[in-house]
Structure 1
Amino acid sequence: MQTTGLTDRPPGFYLDESSFSWNAWTLVQGGVDEFGRPWPLFFESFGDWKTAPYIYLLAGVFTVTGPSILAARAVSAIAGLATVSLLAWLGYRSTKRPAIGLLTGAAALLNPWTFEPTRLALEVAFMPALVAAFLVVLHMRPPTRDRWVSSALALALVLALITYTYTLGRLLGPLLAAGLVLYVGQRSWKAVLGTWIVYAALCVPLLLFAATNPGALTVRLAEAGYLGGPLPEIVGRFVEQLAGNVDPGRALWVGDHNERHHVKGIMGSLLVGTLLLALVGIVRAAGYAVRDPWARYLLYGLVVSYVPASLTTDPFHVHRLIAVPVFLIALTIPAQAWLLGRGRAVSLRRATFVLLAVAVLAQGAYFQIRYDEAARGRGHWFDDAYPGLLDVALATGETPVYLVDGIVPAHVHGLWYGAVRSVRPERFVHLPRDTRAPSGALVLSSESDCAPCVELASGGFFRLYRVP
């Protein structure tokens, strides 16, 4: 499931995917981003600044494979397998029950919320794996006096990766770090303080970049958020957005309205069995949270995972909520342990475990079957018309081919698909929006209207035309 259909489910390649991949390829070719900046910490793209770890990883892969859509999406698929493995290991390690490890891993594999991002060549695919890795490290190396140095180093490193890998991580990372205060006690304060110090040191490059580029790292929040209004309005909007994000009906039956993020019409983003197990796990964790910092942290992590997305106006944006399913799946572990444990009503509890396990597997399998069918027809959401138009343009043999931005900054598609076809970027000339190509020029554009022009072909947002 994770490694099949990477180029046709969905077909095409979205603009952000092309942007990440093109920047990775320019790194391979000359150690610069698309604007010629050498080895940047953040990559400017479409007015935003994309994070570096994912692009550098793609560059490493392209060094071996060359530029390709399959290679780019395979990286995300492998990240999905890492999420499955880490959560399965967490389930087994914390209970010593193979059945719990297997069901926990199956939940990570089958839930649309954790599966669908791994079908795209975007940095968000790595966030579930990083959050799961953080939980594994926290469980294996909790902040204690006996091994506080190794704990601090390991936790701080994963927190830094969370912070640098995806835009929401710039807030989620500090929130997860702050939550380590739940471990503070006579035997653990050094480890927690040490983690904060190392984490802060690792974030110094980010802080320096923010200081020298004011507003660069918050531009997406400024565009998609609402923090510029009066405080009462901000609080009211936050509560409204939070309520929409925690709505179980939306999670179970609707999912993200953006069809690039979620296949519409099958089900929501979360399996019913996973949510029921997580609810039992929340009750169980709350019952012994007073004496168990691990239980306290799982509950805290679930709550703060909703915060970054709730500061933006998009309803139930699953990419900005990507840490939520990781904590929900982790919270199924105490529920599974209780259902399979000893005590009263053993038969009833074990029957409930079997019923919920079957529900997870059956609904997950149903989603996978339907996804396999539906995802093939989503090409218009992923600009699948563009490569065909580019092929027509290249077949003319003309140089240069002008790439003109319009509705979307589509020139990056031309550069990326050109690289995939071993076409040198010098064959293209990029013109910004509302810039007219010279008379006789061959133009591939996302303009809504090219008049006066002689249109040669079109598809989706894009049109190939000649300037009279």
Structure 2
Amino acid sequence: MNDVAASHAARVRALWIAVFAAAGALVVARNLAALSWVPPGLYADEASVGYNAWTIAQFGVDEHGIRFPLFFEAFGEYKNPIYIYALAPLLLFLPLTSAVARFPAALFGLITVLFVTMAAWRLSHSRLVALLVLALAALTPWLTQESRLGFEVSAVVALLAVGFWCLADEQHVSPARFAIAGTCFGLAVYGYTSGRLEVLLFAGAFVVAYAARRSRRRGWPWFLAPIGVAYVLLGIWGWRNPGALTARFDLLSIASDGAPLPTLIARFLHNYVGHFSPGFLFINGDDNLRHNTGFTGMLLAVTLPLMLVGIWACWRRRAESLPRFVLLTLLLGPAAAALTVEPVPHSLRSAVMLPGFLLLAAFGLAGIRSMLAGRALRAAAAAIAVALLAQGGLYTIDMYTAYPMRSAIWFDTGVEPAIAPYIQVFFALRPPPPASRVSDAVSAGLSRLGVRIVDPRVAGATARAGDVLVLGGGDMPPAGSFEWLDIEYAPRNPLQTNAPRPVLAYAVKLL
């Protein structure tokens, strides 16, 4: 009988391994497929990240000639280092393309899915809960979108996910795991701009959640040590580069117009509450089509009941530190985004909330499993799985079909009046960076390439025979004789093959 039971258990274990392997393979394929055209084109921020990673890989300097900088200066702001230094080694042996520039984002997305799933296993010790969390994380629009963009923010989400995994199953959390978690949170300071404030707030939340349990959680201060080091280094860099880290925030701050304190409080509260609104989370999402496909909210609708049950489950487990910490990070997550005046809710600046939302859903699934058994549990799991696959499947189909055409003008496809169009030229043609630090690398780089960026309305008047003009789809062609060199159309929706494709850009040569 024991042999029969052991054989059955082995078969069940093998089946679960096969299911997880198949699900993981599908997620990997989805994250890596069509990175160059879903979304289409390449936004200026992605080009800046890619070009600076290329100059670091090939020359050891950034676009301004600075050797291995901590932050990368780029058209009025500073890019964060984690993503750029993750991309640079790839560019030692791979070409600089949009797909390669976005590959670290896909990798960070996979890391997030993996560690949120493993955290769910530690929270529940249930294969079923872990599998459902894997599917939920993989199909969540917020994470999916950030996994396909060469933006720095995906690194923060992955680092926080790893940190939360280290803190899960807290009966076995050792000082080493506290230190590793703190290191991940400390690195998140350098992952994305909002992380500089949010990690500090999260550190305070950690003290509130864990200090009261110090007699049973010895070693928790090790979490704070790496975070302290991260902020010391940040302070030293800021002292040596006064104003560099706050210049852009000074322009975007809710206090930039000198409004009185009551107005500032009202603005902050309005922005803060917006990040918990049903419209942002479950219906429309971020209005910016670079940050969201526009098909659904930032989270799948099925996440809502799971999170509500998760709040109840966290209350039941309130004697534990991690549930309290997760809830506190969710409450603090929108703070940085709420301090800015740009369109809010803002999914990039509030992306630190995403691991918390997924873990809250994991607590909810664990709570459902603790309440139900047998046929009722199987029915609930089937209903959740169907809801996940239905909305997640429709979202994925839209992402690969209609979204590329819908979002083309948002991603600098063709020639768009971007904030810094020079970086698109540098990304495409890759001029060598200056050998030493210079204040203006743009003019010299464009001059070496024989390229000028001018207003399309005057380009025809100043250009000479033999010049090549690259114009946006809405720009008028130049007067006089010219030769058509290339026309770029918007991506085609494979489900609407007869739909018109607007012109995004075209190139002509003057005769």
Classify the TM-score, shorter chain.
Answer: 0.7 to 0.9
Equivalent of 2:471 in 434, 458, 465:
458
Q: Find the counterpart in structure 2 of residue 27 from structure 1.
A: 56
| Distance change (3 Å), C-alpha of 1:442 and 1:60 | closer
Q: Which amino acid aligns with 2:395?
A: F
**C-alpha deviation, 1:208, in angstroms:** 0.6
Which deviates the most, 406-415 or 170-179? 406-415
Residue aligned with 1:157, SS? helix
Equivalent residues in 2 for 1:427-466 (5 A)? 430-431=442-443, 443-445=451-453, 447=455, 449-450=457-458, 452-454=461-463, 456-459=469-472
Q: Deviations over 1:353-382 (max 9, x none)?
A: 432232112100110011110233133221
Q: Find the counterpart in structure 2 of residue 398 from structure 1.
A: none
Q: Deviations over 1:395-430 (max 9, x none)?
A: xxxxxxxxxxx76321111111013xxx7679xx94
CA distance in 1, matches of 2:151, 2:226: 28
| Distance change (3 Å), C-alpha of 1:418 and 1:142 | farther
Mapped contact 2:123–2:169 kept (Cα < 8 A): no
**C-alpha deviation, 1:281, in angstroms:** 0.4
**C-alpha deviation, 1:38, in angstroms:** 0.9
Q: Find the counterpart in structure 1 of residue 210 from structure 2.
A: 183
Equivalent residues in 2 for 1:318-333 (5 A)? 318-333=347-362
Q: Is residue 297 of structure 2 the alignment partner of residue 268 of structure 1? A: yes
Equivalent of 2:267 in 237, 246, 250:
237
Q: Find the counterpart in structure 1 of residue 11 from structure 2.
A: none
| Distance change (3 Å), C-alpha of 1:446 and 1:288 | farther
Q: Deviations over 1:187-237 (max 9, x none)?
A: 267633333233212332211111122222122322222135332222111
Equivalent residues in 2 for 1:264-413 (5 A)? 264=294, 266-289=295-318, 291-313=319-341, 314-342=343-371, 348=376, 350-377=378-405, 378-386=407-415, 408-413=419-424
CA distance in 1, matches of 2:329, 2:432: 47
Q: Deviations over 1:132-158 (max 9, x none)?
A: 1111011156797xx33x134212211
Mapped contact 1:442–1:464 kept (Cα < 8 A): no
Q: Which runs of 4+ in 1 moved over 4 A?
A: 140-144, 345-350, 423-426, 441-444, 460-468
Q: Is residue 69 of structure 2 the alignment partner of residue 40 of structure 1? A: yes
Q: Find the counterpart in structure 2 of residue 414 from structure 1.
A: 425
| Distance change (3 Å), C-alpha of 1:312 and 1:446 | farther
Q: Which runs of 5+ in 2 are unaligned?
A: 1-29, 435-440, 476-504
CA distance in 1, matches of 2:399, 2:240: 45
Mapped contact 1:275–1:328 kept (Cα < 8 A): no
Q: Deviations over 1:104-142 (max 9, x none)?
A: 111111011110011111111222211111110111567
Residue aligned with 2:428, SS? helix
RMSD between aligned alpha carbons?
A: 2.9
Q: Find the counterpart in structure 1 of residue 181 from structure 2.
A: 155
Mapped contact 1:10–1:375 kept (Cα < 8 A): yes
Q: Is residue 288 of structure 2 the alignment partner of residue 258 of structure 1? A: yes
CA distance in 2, matches of 1:68, 1:324: 30
Equivalent residues in 2 for 1:112-151 (5 A)? 112-139=141-168, 147-148=174-175, 150-151=176-177
CA distance in 2, matches of 1:204, 1:97: 41
Mapped contact 2:255–2:264 kept (Cα < 8 A): yes
CA distance in 1, matches of 2:118, 2:217: 27
**C-alpha deviation, 1:323, in angstroms:** 2.1
Q: What is the aligned length? A: 433
CA distance in 1, matches of 2:265, 2:229: 32
TM-score with structure 2 length normalisation?
0.78
